[in-house]
Amino acid sequence: MAFSTIFGAWIAAFLTLGILSYLYRDNPFYKIAEHIFVGVSAAYWAATFYWTQIYPNLFGRLFPKDGPLSFIAEVDFNHDFNILYIFPLVLGIMMLLSIFKQFNWMARWGIAYTVGIAAGLKAYGYLNSNVLSQISASAVDLFSGTLPIFNMSGDSVFNNLVILIGTLSALMYFYFSREQSGSYGKFTRVGIYFLMISFGASFGFAVMGRISLLIGRFNDLILFSSPEYNYGTFFMMAFIVIILGFWSFQNPEKKEN
């Protein structure tokens, strides 16, 4: 196996164990791993955005080969010259000027443009897919007689009744113009139960997701502990445990009262 692959595996094992060491307590290994992660992520995103978007799509259209501005620079991505792309360039520069106190008002123009575009784009998609389609899907079949009374997973009168009652009661719970008492209050209470079941399911799924990620990390650590990787996990674990033990001895945990 190539040295670079083994070296990468050792670094990965060190960073994984460094992050997991936080479970013991906040410590220098965790801090190192955390800072490397933040720094590398920021640099990676910046580089990716520049080379995949700004350079080919913006500069590629402002400074194409044989374009009117090609005497300044030439960025050849087979695009035609498009003067309209000067606007995103200017707005982008204006956003960057926010680091200077006297020019930071300029950033608002770029932000206003972005917010406007995002709001317009979101409004259409959300209204169509989340409001209209969901309302239409809530119009369930109850009385046609074509559905079975009960079915564990598919369409049935019982399941559709649960959808109907759940949707109505949960929606009514958020109607605050009437006091939630009497039979109306009892109905909205049913809505709370539906919401609580939903939150419980969300929590369960969240736990499952986290455990899945832990499984992923453990799988990698197991892989890196093999002879092909020169027992990287074991060496890194021994290194971290020894240093962490010494560090803990030097910096005893303060007991909370």
Partner 1 sequence: MRLFEDMILKLGSVDRRFIFLLIGLAVLIPLLRPVDLPIKETPTTRKVYDAIEAIPSNSKVLMSFDYGPSTKPEIHPMTLGVMRQLLRDDHQIYITCLWPDGLYMALDALEEINQEFELTEYEDYVLLGFRPGNEAIVKGLASDLRKVYTVDSKGTMLEDIPMMEGINNLKDFQFIFTGSAGYPGTFEWVQYGGDPTGVPLSSGTTSIQVNEVMPYVQSGQIKGVLAGMPGAAEYESMISRPGIAIQGMAAQSFAHLVIVLFIVLGNLAYFITERRERKY
**Alpha carbons 253 and 257: distance in angstroms, whole number:** 12
**Alpha carbons 150 and 159: distance in angstroms, whole number:** 7
Only segment of 41-49, 103-111, 170-178, 232-240 that touches partner 1 (CB under 8 A): 41-49
Residue 178 beta carbon to partner 1: minimum distance, rounded to whole angstroms: 27
By residue count, the chain amounts to: 257
**Alpha carbons 192 and 173: distance in angstroms, whole number:** 7
105 binds partner 1 (CB under 8 A): no
Q: Of 68 and 216, which has the nearer Cβ to partner 1?
A: 216
Restricted to residues 110-139, the positions that interact with partner 1 (CB under 8 A) are: 117, 121-122, 125-126, 128-130, 133-134, 136-137
Residue 196 beta carbon to partner 1: minimum distance, rounded to whole angstroms: 13
Task: Single out the residue of 38, 86, 215, 238 in contact with partner 1 (rule: CB under 8 A).
Answer: 215
User: What is the residue-wise DSSP string for 12-39?
Assistant: HHHHHHHHHGGGT---HHHHHHHHHHHH
Task: Single out the residue of 5, 35, 48, 247 in contact with partner 1 (rule: CB under 8 A).
Answer: 48
Number of residues that bind partner 1 (CB under 8 A): 45
**Alpha carbons 54 and 79: distance in angstroms, whole number:** 13
User: What is the residue-wise DSSP string for 34-70?
Assistant: HHHHHHHHHHHHHHHHIIIIIIIIIIHHHS-TTSTTT
46 binds partner 1 (CB under 8 A): no
Point out which residues bind partner 1 (CB under 8 A).
23-24, 44-45, 48-49, 52-53, 56, 77-79, 117, 121-122, 125-126, 128-130, 133-134, 136-137, 153-154, 163, 198, 201-202, 205-209, 211-219, 222
